[in-house]
Every structure is written in C-alpha cells, then in structure tokens.
C-alpha cells in the first residue's frame, strides 16, 4: 500500500504542476481559457493575475507532495524522514482533496474537473493512512 500511495501522490503532484502551467504560464491562450470555461480573450486578460496566483498555490502543493514522496521512498519505515514525508503527503494531498471538494460544491459544471483534481490525492491519502496504520 505504501507504493500505491506514493504513486497516487506523485500523479496528483504531476497533475498540479500541469494545472500550474495552465494557470500561470498559458492562461491567456485560447486553448487554456476555453478549458476553464471563460468566454473571451478579454475575460482571460481580466482574470490573468488571479489565475497566476492560483497556479502558484498548485505548484507549491505539488512540490510538497513530491518532496514527501521522496522522503518516504528513501527512508526507513518509522524514521523521522518517513514521518516528515507522510506529513507532507497528507497535508499537500489533503489540501488538494479539500480544494477539489470546494470546486465540486461551487456548481454542477465543476463536478468533472473536481473529480479529476481530487481522485488521485484521495487515493494517496486513503492508501497512505492504511499503510501507516496497518
């Protein structure tokens, strides 16, 4: 279960790097702003600074999850390094999961992106809890 949790945490982090790229680097390209449901280039320009900031939140969560995966993967079970790693995985993936829940609660049109955003961190957290408690 440890390996499965680490794999899902890694995938969740990689997805959040991709989201960072869209929100902070390519927000004003038509392919990106259309994916986020914006109606026009003007809307993308208007929301650019908000998306830029939000993208960095996603990047920082991803970095924390990547570091957590590395700490657990290269630590002895029960060591301080493993505890740090699991703490990062649970806090970063837990935050990703809660953000997906907020997105889902913000409207029916957001259920699909919330599911995409929240499934891998959910699996990482659930499998991680099972791994450290069994």
Q: What is the pLDDT of residues 41-70, one digit of tens each?
A: 999 999 999 999 999 999 999 999 999 999
Q: What is the pTM of this model?
A: 0.93
Q: What is the pLDDT of residues 70-110, one digit of tens each?
A: 999 999 988 999 999 999 999 999 999 999 999 999 999 99
User: Secondary structure of the chain in the HEC alphabet?
Assistant: CHHHHHHHHHHHHHHHHHHHHHHHHCCCCHHHHHHCCCCCHHHHHHHHHHHHHHHHHHHHHHHHHHHHHHHHHCCCCCCHHHHHHHHHHHHHHHHHHHHHHHHHHCCHHHHHHHHHHHHHHHHHHHHHHHHHHC
Q: What is the pLDDT of residue 78?
A: 86
């Amino acid at each position: 279960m440890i390996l499965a949790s680490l794999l899902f945490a890694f995938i969740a982090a990689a997805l959040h790097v991709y989201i960072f790229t869209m929100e902070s680097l390519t927000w004003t390209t038509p392919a990106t702003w259309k994916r986020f449901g914006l109606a026009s280039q003007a809307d993308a320009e208007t929301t650019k600074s908000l998306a830029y900031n939000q993208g960095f939140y996603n990047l920082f969560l991803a970095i924390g999850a990547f570091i957590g995966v590395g700490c657990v993967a290269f630590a002895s079970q029960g060591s301080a390094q493993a505890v740090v790693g699991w703490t990062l995985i649970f806090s970063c993936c837990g935050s990703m999961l809660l953000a997906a829940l907020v997105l889902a609660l913000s409207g029916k049109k957001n259920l699909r992106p919330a599911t995409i955003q929240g499934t891998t961190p959910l699996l990482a957290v659930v499998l991680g809890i099972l791994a450290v408690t069994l």
